[in-house]
Amino acid sequence: MVDWFFHTGLHESHCRCTQFAVTRAHQHAELLMNSRPKPHLPRCSSSRITTPLVAVSVPGWNPTVWCKLEYLNPSGSTKDRIARYILTKAIRRGELTSLGIVVEASSGSTSIAMALACAQLGLTFVAVMPEGVSNERVMMIRAYGAEVELTPKPEGIAGAIKRAQIISENRGAYWPRQFSNTDNANAHRNETAQEILSQIDTDSIDLFVSGVGTGGTLVGVTQGLRDAGCNVTPVLARPIDTGVMSEVECSSFSGRIPGVVDGLSTIFANANFPRLQEIEVSDEEAIEVTRQLIRCGYPVGPSSGLNFLAAVRSIERHSADEPTAVTVFPDRMERYFSTELFADM
């Protein structure tokens, strides 16, 4: 708390005051501190957890894949990492102040994670999402005390992004811009990758596999593993939508595998990955493998099935005998009760 208080600049102004003014300034500061929500950074960092990395094999799919159980993060997805990291950095840089407003456009997990992180930091959060997102998502975000603004469905995520920009300008809100904020990838480079390195006992990691939404996971983890000397090949798990595009996840190139978005990310576009591999997985396969993972005791959403199957295929195509492949299980199954994943239950 004291650290945060000094960070506001009030400390510097004390030094230039007379003794009387110093006393008044202290009284004023005390009043201010008592009337403000309690800070911030310590509570925020205390919610960081290390997610398990487990060797997963599924009946019918031979190779074992190392899977980081990101669905165990506090709000239920890997986006907790970037929400906490981006906001903490912005506060430290002075781009975001206490009692500030944060606005972000997202059709899912990032909004929920931002809402949780803002609740912990005492910030106001405005989630801008395309109409059609599930009611459960809206309720979760509101439960954390955040505002929700819905933009017209036909405009998709692009419409939500435009609206976030307007809110940011009109209300002076901090706009993280997850699709271009390098701290998104840095969160994974400095945290997710470091956890993986400390959890795995093989000499090297050959393959890192992930779907791409903002690209933060694939770019950041690959960079972090390479920083540590791993000769890792990044593998993009690409869902092939064989059905009708869902209008809900308007920007996804597979409407049925939420979270995976095409073409919006400058993080991904700017990453220089000459050895990038792409593995295609049909939605049917991804959903079937997700059901199998759930039956094996991993309560995951469809992108985990996508990532797992792409990892299995990347192992099969690799030239080494038993390459080590790592992937992530990004989010929890509860978010998908009203989707095709649970259609036959």
Ligand X SMILES: Cc1ncc(COP(=O)(O)O)c(C=O)c1O
Interface contacts to ligand X, rule CB under 6 A: 77-78, 109, 210-217, 258-260, 301, 303, 330-331
Question: What's the closest the beta carbon of residue 21 comes to ligand X, in angstroms?
Answer: 50
Question: What's the closest the beta carbon of residue 81 comes to ligand X, in angstroms?
Answer: 9
The C-alpha atoms of residue 166 and residue 172 are separated, in whole angstroms, by 10
Q: Which is nearer to ligand X, 41 or 209 (CB)?
A: 209
Tracing tokens 């899977």 back to the chain, one arrives at 67
9 burial via Cβ count (<10 Å: 0-12, 13-18, 19+): exposed
Question: What's the closest the beta carbon of residue 219 comes to ligand X, in angstroms?
Answer: 8
Question: What's the closest the beta carbon of residue 201 comes to ligand X, in angstroms?
Answer: 26
Question: What's the closest the beta carbon of residue 214 comes to ligand X, in angstroms?
Answer: 3
Tell me phi and psi for residue 131, to 5 degrees: -50, 145
Q: Which is nearer to ligand X, 318 or 335 (CB)?
A: 335
Q: Beta strand pairing status for 325-328 and 207-210?
A: parallel
The C-alpha atoms of residue 26 and residue 134 are separated, in whole angstroms, by 48
Question: What's the closest the beta carbon of residue 9 comes to ligand X, in angstroms?
Answer: 34
Could you tell me where the beta strands, DSSP code E, fall in 143-295?
147-151, 207-210, 233-240, 277-282
Q: Which is nearer to ligand X, 41 or 67 (CB)?
A: 67
Q: Which is nearer to ligand X, 41 or 128 (CB)?
A: 128
CA distances from 267 to 36, 92, 142, 179, 262 (A): 36, 22, 29, 6, 12
Q: Which is nearer to ligand X, 174 or 268 (CB)?
A: 268
Q: Which is nearer to ligand X, 88 or 109 (CB)?
A: 109
